[in-house]
Amino acid sequence: MLMAASGIALVVPTITNVTLSSADPSRAGIASGVLNTARQMGGMLGVAACGYLVRDTAPAAFIQGMHLSLIVAVVLLLFGTALSFFCLNRKA
């Protein structure tokens, strides 16, 4: 949990800065609203998906669901990292 909280604390201000600096100043409010909506929806979908995978109350099935949800989370994070690295435009 400490690593997740630290990562979120480092990433959210950076994402906000990149989003707002890339938007036209007259549309900064819209960009901020879209960013916050996407962030909230992503959090909600992540909790729902992990909750679905960990739905069983039997100890062995619960642990298996936790392992599966963590594997899915890691795969999605690695995919997002690769997508960001290779697909985002870099300024020269």
Answer for the pair 50, 69: CB distance below 8 angstroms, yes or no: yes
Answer for the pair 48, 32: CB distance below 8 angstroms, yes or no: no
On average, the pLDDT of the chain sits at: 88
Query: By C-alpha distance, which of 67, 72, 73 is closest to 54?
Result: 67
Give the pTM: 0.67
Q: How far is CA 75 from CA 50, 69, 78, 85, in A?
A: 13, 10, 5, 15
Q: What are 21-37's pLDDT values in tens digits?
A: 888 999 999 999 999 99
